[in-house]
Amino acid sequence: MSAPELWSCLLQSLIPVIGSQWFPLVSLVSIFLIRNSGRVLMGCRGNWDLIRHHDSLCDVLFSAAQSAALAPQKEMPSLIPGSCARPADVFLSHRDGGRPAALDVTIISSLQAATVADSAVIQGSALGVAEARKLLMHAAACHQVGVNFFPLAVEVLGGWSLPAVSIICSIGR
């Protein structure tokens, strides 16, 4: 089995199709959290385990993009001229009709004080907060240099944003 086939199988086993919608059942982040630490992290700022899991997820995305012959680069330096910002955990030089893409993984806990009230009422609301924060930080600067910016929001308890699911599934094909 080739690496792209393995990636597709992995995604299909983790994100089953129900009707015409994708519903994240178990995310790669959850697997990393359980496998690497034996417990699910609630995640607070500065939590080294959370950073390690972020980096592990970025490594998996990089390997999958590499297996799909997308010529990825990790932590693309100097993407934004005159800035120290690194908006791309994984940079794909040819995506979306030849336009480059910056994939930025962001992990958020729906149990933090700022999001727990909304998360109790609206499923995935923390994902929207994480996406909006990253878009505000990097989207305009990336657009100015001709790069599509995609925040891949993931909750520590296993949820994925729909845009993240779409991007990951397109890499797996």
Residues 6-48: tens digit of each pLDDT: 445 445 444 433 333 333 333 444 444 444 443 344 444 456 6
pLDDT in the model for residue 172: 79
pLDDT digits (tens, 9 = 90+) for 63-83: 999 998 888 999 887 888 888
Q: Residue 149 carries which side chain, given as an amino acid letter? A: F
pLDDT in the model for residue 40: 40
Between the alpha carbon of residue 115 and those of residues 97, 118, 119, 128, the distances in Å are 36, 6, 6, 10
Q: Which of 85, 90, 105 is nearest to 145 (CA)?
A: 85
Domain ranges of the chain: 3-172
- H or E stretch covering 86: none
Phi-psi sector, 46: left (phi>0), alpha (psi -120 to 50), beta: left
Does the predicted TM-score (pTM) go above 0.75? no
pLDDT digits (tens, 9 = 90+) for 79-109: 888 888 889 999 998 876 778 999 999 988 8
